[in-house]
Homo-oligomer: A and B are copies of this chain.
Amino acid sequence: MCAANATTLQLDSSGNLRHFLSIEGLSRSLLVRIMDTAESFTSVTRQAVKKVPLLRGKTVVNLFFETSTRTRTTFELAAKRLSADVLNINIATSATAKGESLLDTIRNIEAMQVDMFVVRHAESGAAHFIAGQVAPHISVINAGDGRHAHPTQAMLDMFTIRRMKGDFAPLKVALVGDVLHSRVARSEILALRTLGVSEIRVIGPRTLLPVHPETLGVRAVSDLDQGLEGVDVIMMLRLQKERMSSAFIPSEHEYFARFGLTETRLAKAKPDAIVMHPGPINRGVEIDSRVADGPHSVILQQVNFGIPVRMAILSLATQAGA
């Protein structure tokens, strides 16, 4: 599948969010608008009746070609708190068994008069492909596609940073781990650059770092202590099990010794640095439990902010015209 031009696909003629597929091509003001809208929803999730009727009567379809209980759950909660009807369709275990093509599956669910697809797929470009095919009234939200993008994760990370740090301009940010294969890292780097942070460093074994980091606007560092020097934000990445058993890294133990975030390593960063992780965390592999559960960690706040940020994206996409 080849990704169509994200910018033209994502925005309607007035520049509003029609689909949410990638951070690429989105303006700083749009990212800020998403965060401001999310801010207004944080109070909803704290009040006794956690419901607003914004999407009442709308049908949101969680179309997951790849299982992810956590991401599916946060989208389901976000949609229900906006009063939408939610339909969970796990394609891995259903239609493909009957040999139907992706496009036929989409056309069929679309014909059921649904309003939004939240798509998770193992192939890069799947959400773009679907967005290029659906009827004008339907919005597509990318909930992770292959190695390409995970833009709602990036937005909840940005929202967390803004909540903790306020202004993006002075921030030095480090991304640690398997940057090369991570859709989360790709989306985070794009969002951080759009929001204008001062510096982005990517840290990890050479085999897991991009070959030409400068084209991404980041600096590659292969030593963790050196990379963490003076940073405000540390964004840890999850080490995929399949990567661990491959030739990319020598062993889990050795990986932790060189790139695991411990309290000692964390001390290299600014005293008020925050530690982030998209979850689920591999304790003792990429992060030590004392750091994951320590005072610098904002990992659970990220999960918490995932709901209002996804509510913001769902509601903004519903309001756009064709």
- Selected from B67, B76, B303, the residue in CB contact (under 8 A) with A108 is B303
Check A74 against B282 for contact (C-beta < 8 Å).
no
Decide yes or no whether A296 CB sits under 8 A from chain B: no
Decide yes or no whether A307 CB sits under 8 A from chain B: yes
Nearest CB in chain B: distance from A144 CB, A? 14
> Given A46-B113, A280-B104, A280-B108, are A73 and B89 neighbors across the interface (CB < 8 Å)?
yes
A85 (CB) vs chain B CBs: closest residue: B80
Number of copies: 3
A305 (CB) vs chain B CBs: closest residue: B111
A90 to B216, CA, bound (A): 39
Check B303 against A99 for contact (C-beta < 8 Å).
no
Q: How many residues of A contact B (CB 8 A)?
A: 52
A77 (CB) vs chain B CBs: closest residue: B112
Decide yes or no whether A207 CB sits under 8 A from chain B: no
Check B77 against A59 for contact (C-beta < 8 Å).
yes
Decide yes or no whether A247 CB sits under 8 A from chain B: no
- Selected from B81, B93, B113, B300, the residue in CB contact (under 8 A) with A307 is B113
Check B74 against A95 for contact (C-beta < 8 Å).
no
A111 (CB) vs chain B CBs: closest residue: B303
A241 (CB) vs chain B CBs: closest residue: B99
Check B73 against A77 for contact (C-beta < 8 Å).
no
Decide yes or no whether A98 CB sits under 8 A from chain B: yes
Decide yes or no whether A51 CB sits under 8 A from chain B: yes
Nearest CB in chain B: distance from A218 CB, A? 27
- Selected from B59, B300, B307, the residue in CB contact (under 8 A) with A50 is B59
Check B48 against A306 for contact (C-beta < 8 Å).
no
Chain B neighbourhood of A56, CB < 8 A:
49, 51
Decide yes or no whether A16 CB sits under 8 A from chain B: no
Q: List 18 A-B contacts (CB under 8 A).
A: A45-B113, A46-B113, A50-B57, A51-B56, A51-B57, A67-B97, A73-B109, A74-B112, A77-B113, A77-B114, A100-B280, A104-B280, A107-B300, A108-B300, A111-B300, A111-B301, A111-B304, A112-B307
